């Protein structure tokens, strides 16, 4: 697809002034010598929710991990192509991945609070970064933003792992918010949660959208259509014996779900995939 | 055992007809086989324990435990308090040597060096070291330390430490690998360095499992006489000199078991019993600690 046509459409239709946080051009990621995704190009608009959908193994998580350079930590992973963050090349030689990650928070599929108290979980980021802040205040505001404060304010000393799954996930969001990131990446954040917790997290995302750019990977079509402004549909193609992921279509969520330009997208969002 | 037996019983009651008979028989046969294995294992273990306890308890009294020199051959008057202290000295030295090196090596293997050539080399040497007979560890310490400075508790500690090293590395590495990769990514994703992640998240999370592994390594090494035979050697008298020969429980058991005097043989049994008790207490304490910290 042509990224220019998308941005053209965006500029005329988007209600918010559009600036792009990330711009990817011809991004390919390899594990060892096998390409996992090839030639992805897209632009992630600021202060909106961008959803990645697509069948399992098409490289959604892989692309997501490029944004905060956590692929660097996977042995054998290699990234090719261009990825800019506010116009700066994220993979330039002089970029320190550690300082990149501080601006780009991540929430994972399985809630994974550290085996520490609720307070220490949230305070972990500011502490390791040596932020000169009032920790009590940061913990309180982060937990409030993550809509968890009322449930835990009397037991901040208890282990984060003693909370329910949904609460743990909100704790992980609070933990990410505590370092005042610019972007939040979420990799299937609700897939281990019940519908009520899922709904709470979705509401939370809509609220956070005011101040943060959010990229979410989800297998839940309703979720993508409910929360996201932009949707990227990835698919997987058989090249020889390799399954290689690719970006099929990237557009506003209404367009992807109601009037996609590709047959494959239509089949997938209508559940006729496979 | 009883659980699986009951489970099979219920299965039969519910729908025996739908299960192919051959499956039913092989299932019963395999259950029987595994129960048999458990029984054989438990029986031999309790046999050993019973034998050691029966013979050892005769001479296990406060007097023997607190006497600080061995009885002269054939005589009764003496005990092995100094051998307990000697064993503790050797084991502490071994722990001081093998724990830091072992833990650091394991941290390198699982956190920093995964997939590198050096890591491969370390792993390979570790596997080789696991297969090295204990007596060779003793010879190593003999060649390196004893030939220069004579028999000593210190050299015994080195031999035992070398013996423990691969066990420490392996169990610690396994404990570290149990920490979910997501946990590391989450920590790194908050802007912490890999060093901070290792120190503040990975090691504390794995701590209970690491401690268990360390105690197991120590317990395993506590009973080894082979590495001590020509390192810490033996001492009939009380000594707390780290750089002189000391008596130890395994070496005492070995020496006294093969001399033809009844009182000494009985002391050997008692020494073996004390050794068993020490290992039991250590592993019970570690279990307890792990259980406590998990809550
Ligand atoms: N750490 C890794 N090492 C090697 N290959 C990997 C690794 N992670 C992912 N892959 C491969 O990359 C491809 C894309 O995986 P990825 O996890 O990005 O898919 P996904 O779209 O997130 O799938 P899912 O929806 O199941 O989470 C897969 O073929 C997978 O086997
Ligand atoms: Mg994924």
Q: What is the longest distance spanned by two Cα atoms in chain B?
A: 77
Alpha-helical runs (H) found in chain B:
2-15, 21-56, 62-66, 81-107, 117-131, 134-141, 147-149, 153-177, 181-189, 194-197, 203-222, 249-257, 262-294
Q: Are B68 and B165 part of one and the same domain?
A: yes
Q: What would the pLDDT profile of B24-45 be if each residue is shown by its tens digit? A: 888 899 999 999 999 999 999 9
CA angle at A86 for the pair A81 and A88, rounded to the nearest 5° = 50
Q: Is the pLDDT of residue A107 over 80?
A: yes
Judge whether B286 and B209 are in contact, CB under 8 Å: no
Give domain status of residue A212, yes or no: yes
Backbone angles phi and psi of A181, in degrees to 5: -80, 175
Residue to substitute from A114, A120, A131, A138, interface B, most B β-carbons within 10 A: A114
- Are residues B68 and B50 part of one domain? no
Confidence of residue A5 (pLDDT cuts 50, 70, 90): very low
Same domain membership, residue B191 and residue B267? yes
Question: Where residue A61 sits, what CATH number does that domain have?
Answer: 3.40.50.300
The pLDDT confidence band at residue B2, using thresholds 50, 70 and 90, is very low
Taking the Cβ of residue B200 and every Cβ of chain A, the question of whether any pair is shorter than 8 Å is answered with yes
Ligand 1 proximal residues by C-beta, below 6 Å:
A 31, 36, 56-62, 74, 243, 245
Q: Given pLDDT bands bounded at 50, 70 and 90, which one contains residue A273?
A: low
Q: How far is B219 from chain A (nearest CA, A)?
A: 29
**Residue A88 domain boundaries:** 3-269
**B36 and B122 inside one domain:** no
Q: At what angle do helices B203-222 and B153-177 cross, to 10 degrees?
A: 140
Position of tokens 């204990």?
B134
Which long-range contacts link B176-182 to residues 24+ away (Cβ below 8 Å)?
B176/B106, B176/B107, B176/B110, B176/B111, B176/B202, B176/B203, B176/B206, B176/B210, B177/B110, B178/B206, B178/B209, B179/B205, B179/B206, B180/A110, B180/A112, B182/A108, B182/A109, B182/A110, B182/A112
Q: Using the beta-carbon criterion (under 8 Å), do B190 and A175 form an inter-chain contact?
A: yes
CA A187, CA A105: separation in Å to the nearest integer? 11
| Coil, helix or strand at residue A235 | strand
Q: Confirm whether A73 is domain-assigned.
A: yes
Q: Is A15 exposed, middle or buried (0-12, 13-18, 19+ CB in 10 A)?
A: exposed
Give chain A's contact residues with B (Cβ, < 8 Å): 68, 70, 73, 75-76, 98-99, 101-102, 104-106, 108-110, 112, 114-116, 124-125, 128-129, 172, 175-176, 179
Q: Do B189 and A104 touch (CB under 8 A)?
A: yes
Residue A274 lies in a domain: no
Q: End-to-end CA distance of chain A, in Å? A: 22
- Taking the CA of residue A188 as reference, the ligand 1 atom at the shortest distance is 27
Structural domain ending residue among the three candidates B25, B40, B58? B58
Distance (Å) of CA A247 to CA A3, A41, A124, A208, B293: 11, 8, 36, 26, 47
Q: Which two tokens stand for residue B179?
A: 């920490």
Q: What's the total number of domains in chain B?
A: 2
Specify whether B38 is located in the same domain as B88: no
Residue B142's nearest CA partner among B154, B133, B127, B128 is: B154
CB atoms inside a 10 Å sphere around CB A103: 16
B4-13, B78-87, B208-217, B265-274: range with lowest mean pLDDT: B4-13
* Structural domain of B270: 62-294
What does the block give as tokens for B46?
Answer: 């309790």
Decide if the complex's ipTM is over 0.85: no
Question: Are B95 and B54 in the same domain?
Answer: no
Ligand 1: nearest atom to the Cα of A219: 25
Between A76, A112, A116, which is nearest B182 by CB? A112
What's the whole-number average pLDDT of chain B?
86
The 10s digit of each residue's pLDDT in A142-177 is 998 888 898 998 999 999 999 998 899 999 999 999
**Tokens 């000393």 belong to which residue?**
A157
Regarding whether B242 and B284 lie in a shared domain, the answer is: yes
- Is the Cβ of B40 closer than 8 Å to some Cβ of chain A? no
Q: Does B203 touch chain A (CB under 8 A)?
A: no
Q: Do B191 and A106 touch (CB under 8 A)?
A: no
Strand pairing class (A20-31; A34-45): antiparallel
Task: Please answer yes or no on whether A73 and B185 come within 8 Å at the CB atom.
Answer: yes
Pick from B115, B189, B193: which is nearest to A70 by CB?
Answer: B189
Task: Ligand 1, residue A32: give the atom nearest the CA.
Answer: 4
Cβ–Cβ below 8 Å for B190 and A101: yes
Minimum mean pLDDT range among A249-258, B56-65, B153-162, B166-175: B56-65
pLDDT band of residue A11 (cuts 50, 70, 90) is very low
**pLDDT at site B189:** 86
Q: Please tell me which residue, B19 or A85, carries the higher pLDDT value.
A: A85
Cα gap A108→A190, rounded to integer Å: 9
Q: Looking at the structure, do residues B50 and B88 belong to the same domain, yes or no?
A: no
Both B18 and B136 in a single domain? no
Statement to judge: residues B7 and B71 lie in one domain: no
d(CA A140, CA A137): 5
Distance CA B228, CA B250 (A): 8
Cβ proximity of B86 and B232 under 8 Å:
yes
Phi, psi of B132 (to 5 degrees): -75, 130
Instruction: Kindly list the residues from chain B whose CB atom is less than 8 angstroms away from the CB atom of residue A179.
Output: 190-191
Residue among B189, B193, B210 with most chain A CBs within 10 A, to mutate: B189
A259 three-class SS: coil
Closest partner CB to B190 (pick from A108, A116, A125): A125
Check whether residue B68 and residue B121 sit in a common domain. yes
- Residue A18 — very low, low, confident or very high, per pLDDT cuts 50/70/90? low
Backbone angles phi, psi at A266, to 5 degrees: -60, -45
Pocket test residue of A37, A56, A59 for ligand 1, highest count of atoms within 8 A of CB: A59
B188:A101 CB<8 A: yes
Instruction: Look at residue B1 in the predicted model and tell me its pLDDT.
Output: 41
Question: Which structure tokens are listed for B64?
Answer: 């023997």
The answer to whether position A117 is within a domain reads yes
What per-residue confidence (pLDDT) applies to B14? 56
Kindly report the protein residue whose alpha carbon is nearest to atom 24 of ligand 1: A56
Tokens at residue B276, please? 């068993």
Is the same domain home to B199 and B275? Answer: yes
Enter the tokens of residue A149: 């404060």
Interface of B with A in 205-234 (CB under 8 A): 205
Q: What is the pLDDT of residue B65?
A: 79
Question: Could you tell me which chain B residue has the CA closest to the CA of A74?
Answer: B114
Domains: count for chain A: 1
The tokens describing B76, both together, are 């009764």
pLDDT of amino acid B148 = 86
């Amino acid at each position: 697809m042509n990224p220019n046509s998308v941005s053209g459409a965006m500029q005329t239709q988007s209600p918010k002034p559009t600036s792009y946080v990330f711009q990817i051009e011809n991004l390919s990621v390899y594990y060892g010598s096998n390409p996992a995704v090839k030639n992805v190009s897209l632009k992630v608009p600021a202060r909106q929710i961008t959803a990645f959908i697509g069948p399992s193994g098409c490289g959604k998580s892989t692309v997501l991990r490029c944004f905060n350079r956590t692929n660097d930590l996977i042995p054998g992973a290699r990234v090719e192509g261009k990825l800019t963050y506010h116009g700066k090349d994220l993979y330039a030689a002089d970029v320190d991945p550690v300082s990149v990650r501080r601006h780009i928070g991540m929430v994972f599929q399985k809630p994974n609070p550290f085996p520490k108290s609720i307070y220490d979980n949230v305070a972990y980021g500011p502490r390791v970064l040596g932020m000169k802040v009032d920790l009590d205040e940061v913990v309180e505001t982060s937990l409030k933003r993550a809509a968890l404060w009322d449930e835990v304010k009397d037991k901040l000393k208890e282990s984060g792992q003693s909370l329910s799954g949904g609460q743990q996930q909100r704790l992980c969001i609070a933990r990410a918010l505590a370092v005042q990131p610019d972007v939040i990446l979420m990799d299937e954040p609700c897939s281990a949660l019940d519908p009520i917790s899922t709904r709470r997290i979705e509401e939370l995302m809509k609220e956070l959208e005011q101040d943060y750019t959010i990229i979410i990977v989800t297998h839940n079509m309703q979720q993508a259509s409910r929360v996201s402004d932009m949707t990227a549909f990835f698919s997987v193609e058989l090249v020889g014996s390799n399954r290689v992921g690719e970006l099929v279509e990237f557009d506003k969520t209404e367009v992807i779900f109601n009037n996609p330009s590709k047959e494959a997208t239509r089949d997938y969002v209508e559940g006729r995939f496979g | 055992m009883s659980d699986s037996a009951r489970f099979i019983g219920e299965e039969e009651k519910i729908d025996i007809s739908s299960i192919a008979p051959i499956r039913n028989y092989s299932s019963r046969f395999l259950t029987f086989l595994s129960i048999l294995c458990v029984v054989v294992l438990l029986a031999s273990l309790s046999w050993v324990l019973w034998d050691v306890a029966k013979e050892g308890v005769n001479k296990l009294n406060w007097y023997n435990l607190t006497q600080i020199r061995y009885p002269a051959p054939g005589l009764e008057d003496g005990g092995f308090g100094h051998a307990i202290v000697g064993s503790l000295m050797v084991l502490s030295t071994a722990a001081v040597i093998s724990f830091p090196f072992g833990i650091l090596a394991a941290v390198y293997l699982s956190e920093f060096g995964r997939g590198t050539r050096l890591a491969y080399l370390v792993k390979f040497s570790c596997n080789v070291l696991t297969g090295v007979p204990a007596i060779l560890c003793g010879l190593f310490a003999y060649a390196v330390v004893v030939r220069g400075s004579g028999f000593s508790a210190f050299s015994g500690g080195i031999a035992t430490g070398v013996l423990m090293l691969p066990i420490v590395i392996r169990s610690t590495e396994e404990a570290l690998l149990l920490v979910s990769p997501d946990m590391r990514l989450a920590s790194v994703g908050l802007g912490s360095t890999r060093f901070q992640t290792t120190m503040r998240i990975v090691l504390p999370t794995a701590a209970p499992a690491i401690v268990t592994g360390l105690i197991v390594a120590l317990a395993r090494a506590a009973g080894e006489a082979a590495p001590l035979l020509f390192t810490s050697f033996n001492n009939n008298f009380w000594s707390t000199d780290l750089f002189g020969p000391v008596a130890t429980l395994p070496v005492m058991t070995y020496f006294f078991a093969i001399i033809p005097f009844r009182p000494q043989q009985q002391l050997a049994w008692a020494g073996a019993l004390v050794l068993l008790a020490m290992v039991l207490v250590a592993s019970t304490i570690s279990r307890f600690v792990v259980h406590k910290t998990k809550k």
